[in-house]
Structure 1
Amino acid sequence: MTALTLAAAQTLSIAGDVAANISRHLVFMQVAAEQGVQVLVFPELSLTGYEPTLAADLAIAPDAPLLAPLREMARELQLTAVVGMPIRLALQTQVMIGALVLGADGSVAVYTKQHLHPGEEVAFAAGQGGAALAWGDDRIALAVCADFSHASHPRQAAQAGANVYAAGVLISEGGYAKDSALLQGYAAEHRLLVLMANHGGPSGGWACAGRSAIWGADGRLLAAVPGVGEALVIARRDGEHWLGHVVAV
Protein backbone atom coordinates (compact mmCIF):
# COMPACT_ATOMS: atom_id res chain seq x y z
CA MET A 1 0.00 0.00 0.00
CA THR A 2 1.39 3.39 -1.02
CA ALA A 3 1.91 6.21 1.46
CA LEU A 4 -1.26 8.12 2.25
CA THR A 5 -2.14 11.22 0.23
CA LEU A 6 -5.23 13.10 1.30
CA ALA A 7 -6.96 16.32 0.37
CA ALA A 8 -9.53 18.89 1.43
CA ALA A 9 -11.92 19.95 -1.32
CA GLN A 10 -12.92 23.61 -1.14
CA THR A 11 -16.11 23.75 -3.18
CA LEU A 12 -18.92 26.10 -4.13
CA SER A 13 -22.33 24.53 -3.53
CA ILE A 14 -25.49 25.53 -5.41
CA ALA A 15 -28.31 25.77 -2.86
CA GLY A 16 -30.51 22.68 -3.07
CA ASP A 17 -29.26 21.59 -6.50
CA VAL A 18 -27.94 18.15 -5.64
CA ALA A 19 -27.51 17.05 -9.26
CA ALA A 20 -25.34 20.06 -10.11
CA ASN A 21 -23.32 19.65 -6.93
CA ILE A 22 -22.75 15.95 -7.67
CA SER A 23 -21.43 16.91 -11.10
CA ARG A 24 -18.98 19.31 -9.53
CA HIS A 25 -17.93 16.71 -6.94
CA LEU A 26 -17.12 14.31 -9.78
CA VAL A 27 -14.77 16.90 -11.27
CA PHE A 28 -13.04 17.34 -7.92
CA MET A 29 -12.67 13.58 -7.54
CA GLN A 30 -11.10 13.31 -11.00
CA VAL A 31 -8.62 16.11 -10.33
CA ALA A 32 -7.79 14.65 -6.92
CA ALA A 33 -7.12 11.22 -8.42
CA GLU A 34 -4.79 12.79 -10.98
CA GLN A 35 -2.85 14.20 -8.01
CA GLY A 36 -2.59 10.76 -6.40
CA VAL A 37 -5.12 11.54 -3.65
CA GLN A 38 -6.58 8.49 -1.92
CA VAL A 39 -8.88 10.19 0.62
CA LEU A 40 -10.81 13.34 -0.32
CA VAL A 41 -12.92 15.28 2.19
CA PHE A 42 -15.62 17.77 1.17
CA PRO A 43 -17.22 20.55 3.28
CA GLU A 44 -20.22 20.20 5.56
CA LEU A 45 -23.41 19.54 3.56
CA SER A 46 -21.44 19.90 0.35
CA LEU A 47 -24.04 18.22 -1.84
CA THR A 48 -26.89 20.56 -0.88
CA GLY A 49 -25.15 23.63 0.46
CA TYR A 50 -25.69 24.63 4.07
CA GLU A 51 -29.45 25.02 3.76
CA PRO A 52 -31.24 23.90 6.96
CA THR A 53 -34.66 24.96 5.66
CA LEU A 54 -34.27 22.60 2.68
CA ALA A 55 -32.79 19.69 4.60
CA ALA A 56 -36.00 17.81 5.38
CA ASP A 57 -36.99 17.71 1.71
CA LEU A 58 -33.50 16.82 0.48
CA ALA A 59 -32.53 14.22 3.10
CA ILE A 60 -31.77 10.74 1.77
CA ALA A 61 -30.78 7.31 3.01
CA PRO A 62 -27.02 6.73 2.85
CA ASP A 63 -27.46 4.04 0.19
CA ALA A 64 -29.78 6.14 -2.01
CA PRO A 65 -29.46 5.63 -5.80
CA LEU A 66 -28.91 9.40 -6.07
CA LEU A 67 -25.34 8.84 -4.95
CA ALA A 68 -24.59 6.12 -7.51
CA PRO A 69 -22.47 8.36 -9.79
CA LEU A 70 -20.26 9.31 -6.85
CA ARG A 71 -19.96 5.74 -5.63
CA GLU A 72 -19.09 4.49 -9.11
CA MET A 73 -16.50 7.22 -9.59
CA ALA A 74 -14.93 6.43 -6.21
CA ARG A 75 -14.61 2.79 -7.18
CA GLU A 76 -13.32 3.58 -10.67
CA LEU A 77 -10.69 6.00 -9.38
CA GLN A 78 -9.84 3.91 -6.30
CA LEU A 79 -10.53 7.02 -4.22
CA THR A 80 -12.41 7.34 -0.93
CA ALA A 81 -14.58 10.47 -0.88
CA VAL A 82 -16.28 11.95 2.20
CA VAL A 83 -19.29 13.99 1.05
CA GLY A 84 -21.74 16.11 3.04
CA MET A 85 -25.48 15.42 2.86
CA PRO A 86 -28.58 15.57 5.10
CA ILE A 87 -29.54 11.98 5.81
CA ARG A 88 -32.19 9.83 7.44
CA LEU A 89 -31.17 6.48 8.82
CA ALA A 90 -33.42 3.42 8.61
CA LEU A 91 -36.70 3.68 10.54
CA GLN A 92 -35.92 7.23 11.68
CA THR A 93 -37.77 10.39 10.73
CA GLN A 94 -35.13 12.75 12.12
CA VAL A 95 -32.70 14.42 9.76
CA MET A 96 -29.01 14.42 10.62
CA ILE A 97 -26.01 16.16 9.09
CA GLY A 98 -24.13 13.34 7.46
CA ALA A 99 -20.63 12.82 6.17
CA LEU A 100 -20.93 9.84 3.85
CA VAL A 101 -17.77 7.84 3.26
CA LEU A 102 -17.87 6.52 -0.30
CA GLY A 103 -15.18 3.90 -0.32
CA ALA A 104 -12.79 2.94 -3.09
CA ASP A 105 -14.18 -0.58 -2.69
CA GLY A 106 -17.76 0.52 -3.37
CA SER A 107 -18.77 0.59 0.28
CA VAL A 108 -20.69 3.36 2.05
CA ALA A 109 -20.07 4.27 5.68
CA VAL A 110 -21.78 6.97 7.69
CA TYR A 111 -20.57 9.64 10.08
CA THR A 112 -23.27 11.86 11.63
CA LYS A 113 -22.52 15.23 13.21
CA GLN A 114 -22.50 14.84 16.97
CA HIS A 115 -22.49 18.44 18.17
CA LEU A 116 -24.97 20.85 16.63
CA HIS A 117 -24.34 24.56 16.23
CA PRO A 118 -26.86 26.69 18.17
CA GLY A 119 -30.02 26.91 16.09
CA GLU A 120 -29.40 23.75 14.08
CA GLU A 121 -31.66 21.74 16.37
CA VAL A 122 -34.64 23.29 14.55
CA ALA A 123 -33.76 21.31 11.42
CA PHE A 124 -31.45 18.54 12.59
CA ALA A 125 -31.00 15.92 15.28
CA ALA A 126 -27.61 15.27 16.85
CA GLY A 127 -25.84 12.24 15.43
CA GLN A 128 -23.60 9.54 16.82
CA GLY A 129 -20.34 10.14 15.00
CA GLY A 130 -18.78 7.17 13.23
CA ALA A 131 -15.77 4.94 12.97
CA ALA A 132 -12.36 6.20 11.92
CA LEU A 133 -11.18 5.35 8.43
CA ALA A 134 -8.32 2.90 8.22
CA TRP A 135 -5.57 3.27 5.62
CA GLY A 136 -2.63 1.01 6.29
CA ASP A 137 -1.27 2.12 9.66
CA ASP A 138 -3.14 5.44 9.51
CA ARG A 139 -6.44 6.15 11.24
CA ILE A 140 -8.48 9.09 9.99
CA ALA A 141 -11.06 10.43 12.43
CA LEU A 142 -13.89 12.49 10.93
CA ALA A 143 -15.58 15.62 12.25
CA VAL A 144 -18.31 17.90 10.95
CA CYS A 145 -17.95 21.59 11.82
CA ALA A 146 -19.16 22.24 15.40
CA ASP A 147 -17.87 18.83 16.47
CA PHE A 148 -14.38 20.30 16.67
CA SER A 149 -15.53 23.19 18.87
CA HIS A 150 -15.73 20.59 21.67
CA ALA A 151 -12.18 19.82 22.77
CA SER A 152 -13.27 16.33 23.83
CA HIS A 153 -13.93 15.38 20.20
CA PRO A 154 -10.36 15.49 18.84
CA ARG A 155 -9.02 14.31 22.19
CA GLN A 156 -11.14 11.17 22.06
CA ALA A 157 -10.14 10.62 18.45
CA ALA A 158 -6.46 10.75 19.37
CA GLN A 159 -6.99 8.49 22.37
CA ALA A 160 -8.69 5.97 20.09
CA GLY A 161 -5.58 5.84 17.90
CA ALA A 162 -6.30 8.39 15.17
CA ASN A 163 -3.31 10.20 13.68
CA VAL A 164 -5.38 12.26 11.20
CA TYR A 165 -8.37 14.48 12.05
CA ALA A 166 -10.42 15.50 9.01
CA ALA A 167 -13.21 18.06 9.34
CA GLY A 168 -15.76 19.13 6.75
CA VAL A 169 -16.94 22.55 7.84
CA LEU A 170 -18.76 25.78 7.16
CA ILE A 171 -16.70 28.58 8.67
CA SER A 172 -17.58 32.22 8.09
CA GLU A 173 -15.21 35.15 7.76
CA GLY A 174 -16.08 36.21 11.30
CA GLY A 175 -15.34 32.80 12.82
CA TYR A 176 -12.25 31.83 10.86
CA ALA A 177 -9.54 33.21 13.14
CA LYS A 178 -10.91 31.45 16.21
CA ASP A 179 -11.78 28.18 14.50
CA SER A 180 -8.51 27.83 12.59
CA ALA A 181 -6.59 28.50 15.80
CA LEU A 182 -8.51 25.70 17.50
CA LEU A 183 -7.71 23.24 14.74
CA GLN A 184 -4.06 24.24 14.65
CA GLY A 185 -3.90 23.82 18.41
CA TYR A 186 -5.38 20.33 18.25
CA ALA A 187 -2.75 19.35 15.69
CA ALA A 188 0.07 20.29 18.03
CA GLU A 189 -1.57 19.10 21.25
CA HIS A 190 -2.57 15.65 20.00
CA ARG A 191 0.10 15.12 17.33
CA LEU A 192 -2.55 14.93 14.62
CA LEU A 193 -2.44 15.84 10.98
CA VAL A 194 -5.50 18.12 10.83
CA LEU A 195 -7.43 18.74 7.61
CA MET A 196 -10.18 21.36 7.25
CA ALA A 197 -12.41 21.50 4.14
CA ASN A 198 -14.46 24.71 4.04
CA HIS A 199 -16.97 26.11 1.57
CA GLY A 200 -15.39 28.39 -1.02
CA GLY A 201 -18.24 30.89 -1.20
CA PRO A 202 -21.59 31.89 0.31
CA SER A 203 -23.90 29.18 1.59
CA GLY A 204 -27.07 29.38 3.64
CA GLY A 205 -26.71 33.11 4.08
CA TRP A 206 -23.18 32.80 5.47
CA ALA A 207 -20.19 34.53 3.91
CA CYS A 208 -17.86 31.54 4.07
CA ALA A 209 -14.17 32.23 4.49
CA GLY A 210 -12.72 29.53 2.25
CA ARG A 211 -9.06 29.20 3.30
CA SER A 212 -9.28 25.43 3.64
CA ALA A 213 -6.09 24.17 5.25
CA ILE A 214 -4.00 21.27 6.48
CA TRP A 215 -1.76 21.46 9.57
CA GLY A 216 1.01 19.03 10.42
CA ALA A 217 1.27 17.10 13.67
CA ASP A 218 3.50 19.84 15.09
CA GLY A 219 0.85 22.51 14.39
CA ARG A 220 2.73 23.87 11.39
CA LEU A 221 0.57 25.00 8.47
CA LEU A 222 1.38 22.71 5.53
CA ALA A 223 -0.84 24.39 2.95
CA ALA A 224 -3.95 26.56 2.70
CA VAL A 225 -6.12 28.12 0.03
CA PRO A 226 -5.41 31.88 0.17
CA GLY A 227 -9.09 32.85 0.12
CA VAL A 228 -12.41 31.84 -1.42
CA GLY A 229 -13.05 29.97 -4.66
CA GLU A 230 -12.54 26.33 -5.57
CA ALA A 231 -9.35 24.39 -4.91
CA LEU A 232 -7.80 21.26 -3.44
CA VAL A 233 -5.45 21.33 -0.46
CA ILE A 234 -3.29 18.23 -0.64
CA ALA A 235 -1.03 16.59 1.93
CA ARG A 236 1.33 13.82 0.89
CA ARG A 237 3.53 11.81 3.20
CA ASP A 238 7.23 11.89 2.33
CA GLY A 239 8.98 9.44 4.64
CA GLU A 240 8.32 10.66 8.16
CA HIS A 241 7.15 14.07 7.01
CA TRP A 242 4.11 15.56 5.30
CA LEU A 243 4.29 17.96 2.38
CA GLY A 244 1.38 20.16 1.36
CA HIS A 245 0.32 22.14 -1.66
CA VAL A 246 -2.76 23.71 -3.27
CA VAL A 247 -4.21 22.86 -6.69
CA ALA A 248 -6.81 25.05 -8.40
CA VAL A 249 -9.90 23.25 -9.70
Structure 2
Amino acid sequence: MAPELAPDLPPDLPPDLPRFAVAQFVARRGDIDANVGRHVPLAERAAQAGAHLVLFPELALTGYEPDLAAQLALMPDDARLAPLRDAAVRHHLTIVTGAPLRAPGHPAIAALSFLPDGGVDVYTKQYLHPGEEKAFRAGTGGAPLAVEGTQVALAVCAEIAHARHAAAAAQAGAGLYAASVLVSEGGYAADAALLQGYARTHRMPVAMANHGGPTGDWASAGRSAVWDEKGEIVVAAAGAGECLLLAARTAGAWHGGLIDG
Protein backbone atom coordinates (compact mmCIF):
# COMPACT_ATOMS: atom_id res chain seq x y z
CA MET A 1 0.00 0.00 0.00
CA ALA A 2 2.73 2.45 0.97
CA PRO A 3 5.90 3.23 -1.00
CA GLU A 4 9.36 2.34 0.26
CA LEU A 5 11.13 4.99 2.30
CA ALA A 6 13.24 7.12 -0.01
CA PRO A 7 16.89 7.68 1.02
CA ASP A 8 16.92 11.41 0.16
CA LEU A 9 13.90 12.66 2.11
CA PRO A 10 13.94 16.28 3.29
CA PRO A 11 15.12 16.59 6.91
CA ASP A 12 11.82 18.21 8.05
CA LEU A 13 9.65 15.39 6.74
CA PRO A 14 7.27 14.12 9.45
CA PRO A 15 8.10 10.65 10.78
CA ASP A 16 6.13 7.66 9.64
CA LEU A 17 2.97 6.68 11.50
CA PRO A 18 1.99 3.02 11.74
CA ARG A 19 -1.18 2.02 9.97
CA PHE A 20 -4.16 2.38 12.29
CA ALA A 21 -7.90 1.83 12.08
CA VAL A 22 -10.98 3.68 13.31
CA ALA A 23 -13.99 1.45 13.93
CA GLN A 24 -17.35 3.17 13.48
CA PHE A 25 -19.44 0.80 15.58
CA VAL A 26 -23.15 0.17 16.17
CA ALA A 27 -23.52 -0.95 19.80
CA ARG A 28 -26.26 -3.17 21.15
CA ARG A 29 -27.83 -1.62 24.25
CA GLY A 30 -26.36 -3.05 27.42
CA ASP A 31 -25.23 -6.31 25.80
CA ILE A 32 -21.53 -6.65 26.60
CA ASP A 33 -21.24 -10.18 25.22
CA ALA A 34 -22.80 -9.26 21.89
CA ASN A 35 -20.72 -6.11 21.58
CA VAL A 36 -17.49 -7.97 22.36
CA GLY A 37 -18.53 -10.54 19.80
CA ARG A 38 -18.80 -7.85 17.14
CA HIS A 39 -15.62 -6.06 18.21
CA VAL A 40 -13.46 -9.11 17.54
CA PRO A 41 -14.14 -9.54 13.79
CA LEU A 42 -13.78 -5.80 13.23
CA ALA A 43 -10.43 -5.87 15.04
CA GLU A 44 -9.37 -8.90 13.01
CA ARG A 45 -10.26 -7.15 9.76
CA ALA A 46 -8.22 -4.15 10.85
CA ALA A 47 -5.24 -6.39 11.62
CA GLN A 48 -5.59 -8.19 8.30
CA ALA A 49 -5.39 -4.79 6.62
CA GLY A 50 -2.11 -4.12 8.41
CA ALA A 51 -3.32 -1.96 11.29
CA HIS A 52 -1.42 -1.89 14.59
CA LEU A 53 -4.15 0.05 16.43
CA VAL A 54 -7.94 0.04 16.22
CA LEU A 55 -10.01 2.74 17.95
CA PHE A 56 -13.68 2.23 18.90
CA PRO A 57 -16.21 4.87 20.10
CA GLU A 58 -17.01 5.97 23.64
CA LEU A 59 -18.71 3.24 25.71
CA ALA A 60 -18.79 0.96 22.68
CA LEU A 61 -18.91 -2.18 24.85
CA THR A 62 -22.26 -1.22 26.39
CA GLY A 63 -23.61 1.57 24.26
CA TYR A 64 -23.99 5.06 25.72
CA GLU A 65 -26.58 4.12 28.34
CA PRO A 66 -26.30 6.24 31.52
CA ASP A 67 -29.37 4.58 33.04
CA LEU A 68 -27.61 1.19 32.85
CA ALA A 69 -24.10 2.35 33.71
CA ALA A 70 -24.09 1.30 37.37
CA GLN A 71 -25.27 -2.24 36.67
CA LEU A 72 -23.01 -2.64 33.63
CA ALA A 73 -19.85 -1.28 35.27
CA LEU A 74 -16.97 -3.73 35.02
CA MET A 75 -13.30 -4.17 35.79
CA PRO A 76 -10.53 -4.48 33.17
CA ASP A 77 -10.02 -8.16 33.99
CA ASP A 78 -13.70 -9.05 33.43
CA ALA A 79 -13.88 -12.54 31.92
CA ARG A 80 -16.27 -11.32 29.21
CA LEU A 81 -13.44 -9.22 27.77
CA ALA A 82 -11.12 -12.19 27.26
CA PRO A 83 -11.84 -12.38 23.49
CA LEU A 84 -10.49 -8.83 23.13
CA ARG A 85 -7.35 -9.64 25.10
CA ASP A 86 -6.84 -12.76 23.01
CA ALA A 87 -7.37 -10.91 19.72
CA ALA A 88 -4.87 -8.22 20.70
CA VAL A 89 -2.21 -10.81 21.43
CA ARG A 90 -3.00 -13.00 18.43
CA HIS A 91 -2.84 -10.14 15.94
CA HIS A 92 -0.18 -8.01 17.68
CA LEU A 93 -2.80 -5.26 17.80
CA THR A 94 -3.77 -2.54 20.27
CA ILE A 95 -7.57 -2.43 20.65
CA VAL A 96 -9.03 0.67 22.32
CA THR A 97 -12.68 0.59 23.32
CA GLY A 98 -15.00 2.03 25.95
CA ALA A 99 -16.93 0.80 28.98
CA PRO A 100 -18.19 2.04 32.36
CA LEU A 101 -15.48 1.23 34.89
CA ARG A 102 -16.42 0.19 38.41
CA ALA A 103 -15.42 2.82 40.97
CA PRO A 104 -16.59 4.12 44.36
CA GLY A 105 -19.91 5.83 43.85
CA HIS A 106 -20.67 6.30 40.17
CA PRO A 107 -18.64 4.42 37.54
CA ALA A 108 -16.05 6.24 35.43
CA ILE A 109 -16.19 6.35 31.63
CA ALA A 110 -13.14 4.37 30.59
CA ALA A 111 -11.14 3.72 27.47
CA LEU A 112 -9.69 0.23 27.84
CA SER A 113 -6.65 -0.57 25.71
CA PHE A 114 -5.98 -4.25 25.09
CA LEU A 115 -2.29 -4.59 24.30
CA PRO A 116 -0.27 -7.03 22.18
CA ASP A 117 1.53 -8.29 25.31
CA GLY A 118 -1.75 -9.31 26.95
CA GLY A 119 -1.97 -6.32 29.28
CA VAL A 120 -4.81 -3.81 29.59
CA ASP A 121 -4.24 -0.07 30.01
CA VAL A 122 -6.98 2.06 31.55
CA TYR A 123 -7.77 5.69 30.70
CA THR A 124 -10.69 7.44 32.43
CA LYS A 125 -12.56 10.47 31.09
CA GLN A 126 -11.53 13.59 32.99
CA TYR A 127 -14.05 16.14 31.69
CA LEU A 128 -17.70 15.11 31.73
CA HIS A 129 -20.46 16.46 29.52
CA PRO A 130 -23.05 18.50 31.46
CA GLY A 131 -25.49 16.05 33.02
CA GLU A 132 -23.14 13.06 32.95
CA GLU A 133 -22.31 13.59 36.61
CA LYS A 134 -25.71 12.08 37.44
CA ALA A 135 -24.49 8.66 36.25
CA PHE A 136 -20.70 8.90 36.04
CA ARG A 137 -17.75 10.26 37.99
CA ALA A 138 -14.89 12.27 36.52
CA GLY A 139 -11.76 10.23 35.92
CA THR A 140 -8.05 10.95 35.98
CA GLY A 141 -6.94 10.43 32.38
CA GLY A 142 -4.04 8.12 31.74
CA ALA A 143 -0.69 7.71 30.04
CA PRO A 144 -0.38 7.71 26.24
CA LEU A 145 -0.11 4.42 24.42
CA ALA A 146 3.08 3.35 22.69
CA VAL A 147 2.16 1.87 19.30
CA GLU A 148 5.05 0.84 17.07
CA GLY A 149 7.15 3.71 18.38
CA THR A 150 4.36 6.31 18.18
CA GLN A 151 2.85 7.96 21.26
CA VAL A 152 -0.96 7.88 20.99
CA ALA A 153 -2.87 10.23 23.31
CA LEU A 154 -6.44 9.21 24.09
CA ALA A 155 -9.46 11.49 24.48
CA VAL A 156 -13.05 10.60 25.33
CA CYS A 157 -15.85 12.72 23.87
CA ALA A 158 -16.44 15.86 26.00
CA GLU A 159 -12.70 16.14 26.61
CA ILE A 160 -12.28 17.41 23.05
CA ALA A 161 -14.21 20.56 24.06
CA HIS A 162 -11.29 21.50 26.35
CA ALA A 163 -8.46 22.92 24.26
CA ARG A 164 -5.98 22.31 27.09
CA HIS A 165 -6.53 18.58 26.75
CA ALA A 166 -5.28 18.44 23.16
CA ALA A 167 -2.55 20.98 23.93
CA ALA A 168 -1.23 18.80 26.75
CA ALA A 169 -1.17 15.79 24.44
CA ALA A 170 0.83 17.71 21.84
CA GLN A 171 3.24 19.11 24.42
CA ALA A 172 3.85 15.58 25.69
CA GLY A 173 4.92 14.52 22.20
CA ALA A 174 1.85 12.66 20.96
CA GLY A 175 2.10 11.54 17.36
CA LEU A 176 -1.65 10.88 17.21
CA TYR A 177 -4.64 12.25 19.15
CA ALA A 178 -7.25 9.48 19.24
CA ALA A 179 -10.76 10.53 20.27
CA SER A 180 -13.54 8.06 21.09
CA VAL A 181 -16.82 9.97 20.90
CA LEU A 182 -20.58 10.03 20.67
CA VAL A 183 -21.49 12.98 18.45
CA SER A 184 -24.97 13.68 17.10
CA GLU A 185 -25.71 15.30 13.77
CA GLY A 186 -26.50 18.58 15.52
CA GLY A 187 -23.13 18.69 17.26
CA TYR A 188 -21.00 17.24 14.50
CA ALA A 189 -19.93 20.40 12.68
CA ALA A 190 -18.68 22.10 15.84
CA ASP A 191 -16.88 19.03 17.19
CA ALA A 192 -15.28 18.18 13.87
CA ALA A 193 -14.08 21.78 13.57
CA LEU A 194 -12.47 21.53 17.01
CA LEU A 195 -10.59 18.37 16.10
CA GLN A 196 -9.54 19.74 12.73
CA GLY A 197 -8.28 22.86 14.51
CA TYR A 198 -6.26 20.84 17.00
CA ALA A 199 -4.63 18.94 14.16
CA ARG A 200 -3.69 22.14 12.38
CA THR A 201 -2.64 24.11 15.47
CA HIS A 202 -0.51 21.40 17.03
CA ARG A 203 0.67 19.72 13.80
CA MET A 204 -0.72 16.53 15.33
CA PRO A 205 -2.85 14.03 13.39
CA VAL A 206 -6.28 13.37 14.90
CA ALA A 207 -8.55 10.31 14.68
CA MET A 208 -12.21 10.33 15.71
CA ALA A 209 -14.25 7.14 16.26
CA ASN A 210 -17.98 7.88 16.44
CA HIS A 211 -20.94 5.58 16.95
CA GLY A 212 -22.56 4.42 13.74
CA GLY A 213 -26.13 4.22 14.99
CA PRO A 214 -28.52 5.32 17.75
CA THR A 215 -27.38 4.74 21.32
CA GLY A 216 -29.02 5.91 24.51
CA ASP A 217 -31.20 8.86 23.61
CA TRP A 218 -28.82 10.00 20.88
CA ALA A 219 -28.91 9.57 17.12
CA SER A 220 -25.23 9.49 16.31
CA ALA A 221 -23.99 11.21 13.17
CA GLY A 222 -21.38 8.58 12.31
CA ARG A 223 -18.96 10.34 9.96
CA SER A 224 -15.86 9.12 11.80
CA ALA A 225 -12.72 10.69 10.39
CA VAL A 226 -8.95 11.10 10.38
CA TRP A 227 -7.29 14.49 9.91
CA ASP A 228 -3.61 14.89 9.04
CA GLU A 229 -1.17 17.29 10.72
CA LYS A 230 -2.38 20.10 8.43
CA GLY A 231 -6.01 19.58 9.43
CA GLU A 232 -6.91 18.02 6.09
CA ILE A 233 -9.16 14.97 5.86
CA VAL A 234 -7.31 11.72 5.17
CA VAL A 235 -10.38 9.48 5.25
CA ALA A 236 -13.94 9.81 6.57
CA ALA A 237 -17.14 7.82 6.72
CA ALA A 238 -19.93 9.34 4.64
CA GLY A 239 -22.57 8.94 7.35
CA ALA A 240 -23.85 6.41 9.86
CA GLY A 241 -23.48 2.62 9.75
CA GLU A 242 -20.68 0.27 10.68
CA CYS A 243 -17.32 0.53 8.92
CA LEU A 244 -13.55 0.63 9.34
CA LEU A 245 -11.35 3.57 8.37
CA LEU A 246 -7.68 2.87 7.69
CA ALA A 247 -4.88 5.42 7.65
CA ALA A 248 -1.08 5.57 7.66
CA ARG A 249 1.68 8.05 6.91
CA THR A 250 4.68 6.64 5.08
CA ALA A 251 7.57 8.64 3.65
CA GLY A 252 5.64 11.80 4.48
CA ALA A 253 2.58 10.80 2.45
CA TRP A 254 -0.81 9.92 3.91
CA HIS A 255 -2.84 6.95 2.71
CA GLY A 256 -6.43 6.31 3.70
CA GLY A 257 -9.13 3.80 2.91
CA LEU A 258 -12.57 2.66 3.98
CA ILE A 259 -13.82 -0.89 4.59
CA ASP A 260 -17.55 -1.48 5.00
CA GLY A 261 -18.52 -3.33 8.17
TM-score range, shorter chain: over 0.9
Distance 2:147 2:51 in 1: 12
The answer (yes or no) to whether the contact 1:45–1:84 under 8 Å persists in 2 is: yes
Distance 1:147 1:35 in 2: 30
Question: Shift of the alpha carbon at 1:3?
Answer: 5.5
Structure 2 residue 231 is matched with structure 1 residue 219: yes
Question: Shift of the alpha carbon at 1:138?
Answer: 1.4
The partner residue of 1:142 within 147, 150, 154 is 154
Greater CA drift, 137-146 or 237-246:
237-246
Question: Shift of the alpha carbon at 1:134?
Answer: 1.2
User: Residue 99 of structure 2 aligns with which residue?
Assistant: 85
Structure 2 residue 68 is matched with structure 1 residue 54: yes
The answer (yes or no) to whether the contact 1:62–1:88 under 8 Å persists in 2 is: no
AA of the residue aligned to 2:203: R
3-state SS of the aligned residue for 1:195? strand
Give aligned-pair identity as a percent: 53
Deviations 1:101-122 (A, max 9, x none): 0001101000000100000000
Question: Shift of the alpha carbon at 1:88?
Answer: 1.6
The answer (yes or no) to whether the contact 1:163–1:191 under 8 Å persists in 2 is: no
Distance 1:120 1:214 in 2: 27
3-state SS of the aligned residue for 1:5? strand
3-state SS of the aligned residue for 1:178? helix
Distance 1:113 1:146 in 2: 8
Distance 1:133 1:31 in 2: 21
Which protein shows a greater Rg? 2
Where in structure 1 are there 5+ consecutive unaligned residues?
none
User: Residue 228 of structure 1 aligns with which residue?
Assistant: 240
Structure 2 residue 34 is matched with structure 1 residue 20: yes
User: Residue 36 of structure 1 aligns with which residue?
Assistant: 50
Where in structure 2 are there 5+ consecutive unaligned residues?
1-15
The answer (yes or no) to whether the contact 1:14–1:20 under 8 Å persists in 2 is: yes
3-state SS of the aligned residue for 2:58? coil
User: Residue 239 of structure 1 aligns with which residue?
Assistant: 251
User: Residue 23 of structure 2 aligns with which residue?
Assistant: 9
Deviations 1:137-158 (A, max 9, x none): 4110000000111000000000
The partner residue of 2:207 within 195, 210, 216 is 195
The answer (yes or no) to whether the contact 1:80–1:101 under 8 Å persists in 2 is: yes
Distance 1:136 1:53 in 2: 38
Runs of 4+ in 1 over 3 A off after TM superposition: none
AA of the residue aligned to 2:199: A
AA of the residue aligned to 1:88: R
The answer (yes or no) to whether the contact 1:10–1:42 under 8 Å persists in 2 is: yes
3-state SS of the aligned residue for 2:185? coil
